[in-house]
């Protein structure tokens, strides 16, 4: 069994060090093999210009990257954290994955930008990564918040071998509560949603974040579920062996039964 910690956290907009200090306090007592934090957990979310985001954006080796890598080494844990990234003068809404013994984090850049993110971030140009960890005998797929709206993302990750999909999030709608369990069922994988709580206001507009962080099992059941507000650490044990068998009766297998040769066809009225 693998210990998975999913963190619901309320970052302070524009205050990286305060956010890192709060994350440190939350994680100090945590013993887990994998730790999943929310989207943009070091910076807060509601930026509308690149100028206000720029001082908080990270490249590998930056302040927050050093913090998380040290934490990963100290806890012998994989840490999945959403942070703003800067690369060659461009900004991305990214997930950094820190692993003990590996000095460079893996970086996934958000493919599907939500709402006003397009005014600040570039669309992601990375593939959807599946990370194989031999120590844990586990494959982890990464998607980021609004990526959940696109079933192709979780399917690509599952076809790539993911047994757990980690989804750092800053969710402000409610539809995901219905869809995230479906993403688990349709791929027979665990899905960990690390959502933030609280609210942020910019230019008179307020965004309320929905909390409700959860881990869904391969049958779509919420193994553990947070309230809509407050900072909390959800720790659960998962068994990735369940995910390797994609059958659900003696005749049907959700991957073997696929008909990809038909999926590109255009339906025509008769």
Q: Among the CATH numbers 3.40.50.2300, 1.10.510.10, 3.60.110.10, 3.40.50.360, which is that of 2-263?
A: 3.60.110.10
Whole-structure pTM value: 0.96
The tokens of 193 are what? 């949603």
CA atoms lying within 13 Å on the CB side of residue 48:
9
Task: Decide if pLDDT at 154 tops 70.
Answer: yes
Residue tagged active-site, from 41, 65, 145, 243: 145
Q: Strands 190-195 and 164-169, how do they pair? A: parallel
Give CA separation, 147 vs 94, 103, 108, 118, in Å: 12, 27, 12, 14
Residue tagged active-site, from 41, 58, 85, 110: 110
pLDDT band at 267, cuts 50/70/90? low
CA atoms lying within 13 Å on the CB side of residue 134:
1
- Which pLDDT score is estimated for 177? 96
Whole-number Å distance between alpha carbons of 69 and 104: 9
User: Kindly report the CA angle at 150 between 148 and 152, in degrees rounded to 5?
Assistant: 115
Active site residue 39: yes
201: exposed, middle or buried (C-beta count within 10 Å: 0-12, 13-18, 19+)? exposed
Task: Decide if pLDDT at 270 tops 60.
Answer: no
pLDDT band at 269, cuts 50/70/90? low
- Which pLDDT score is estimated for 52? 96
Average pLDDT over residues 51-69: 97
Average pLDDT over residues 58-78: 97
Average pLDDT, the chain: 96
CA atoms lying within 13 Å on the CB side of residue 14:
12
More confident site: 230 or 265: 230
Active site residue 110: yes
- Which pLDDT score is estimated for 264? 82
């Amino acid at each position: 069994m693998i210990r998975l910690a999913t963190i619901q956290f309320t970052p302070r907009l524009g205050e990286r060090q305060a956010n890192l200090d709060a994350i440190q306090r939350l994680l100090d007592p945590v013993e887990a093999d994998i730790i999943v934090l929310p989207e943009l957990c070091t910076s807060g979310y509601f930026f509308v210009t690149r100028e206000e985001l720029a001082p908080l954006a990270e490249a590998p080796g930056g302040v927050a990257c050093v913090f998380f890598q040290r934490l990963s080494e100290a806890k012998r844990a994989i840490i999945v954290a959403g942070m703003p990234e800067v690369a060659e003068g461009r900004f991305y809404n990214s997930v950094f994955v820190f692993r003990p013994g590996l000095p460079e984090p893996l970086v996934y850049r958000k493919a599907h930008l939500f709402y006003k993110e397009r005014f600040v971030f570039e669309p992601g140009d990375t593939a959807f990564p599946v990370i194989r960890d031999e120590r844990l005998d586990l494959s982890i797929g990464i998607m980021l918040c609004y990526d959940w709206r696109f079933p192709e993302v979780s399917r690509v990750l599952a076809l790539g071998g993911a047994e757990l999909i980690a989804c750092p999030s800053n969710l402000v709608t409610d539809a995901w509560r219905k869809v995230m369990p479906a993403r688990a069922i349709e791929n027979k994988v665990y899905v960990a949603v690390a959502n933030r709580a609280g609210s942020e206001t910019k230019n008179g507009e307020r965004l309320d974040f929905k909390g409700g962080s959860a881990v869904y099992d391969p049958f779509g059941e919420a193994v553990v579920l947070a309230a809509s507000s407050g900072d909390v650490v959800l720790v659960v044990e998962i068994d990735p062996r369940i995910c390797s068998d994609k059958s659900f009766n003696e005749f049907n297998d959700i991957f073997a039964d696929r008909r990809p040769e038909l999926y590109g066809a255009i339906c025509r009225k008769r």
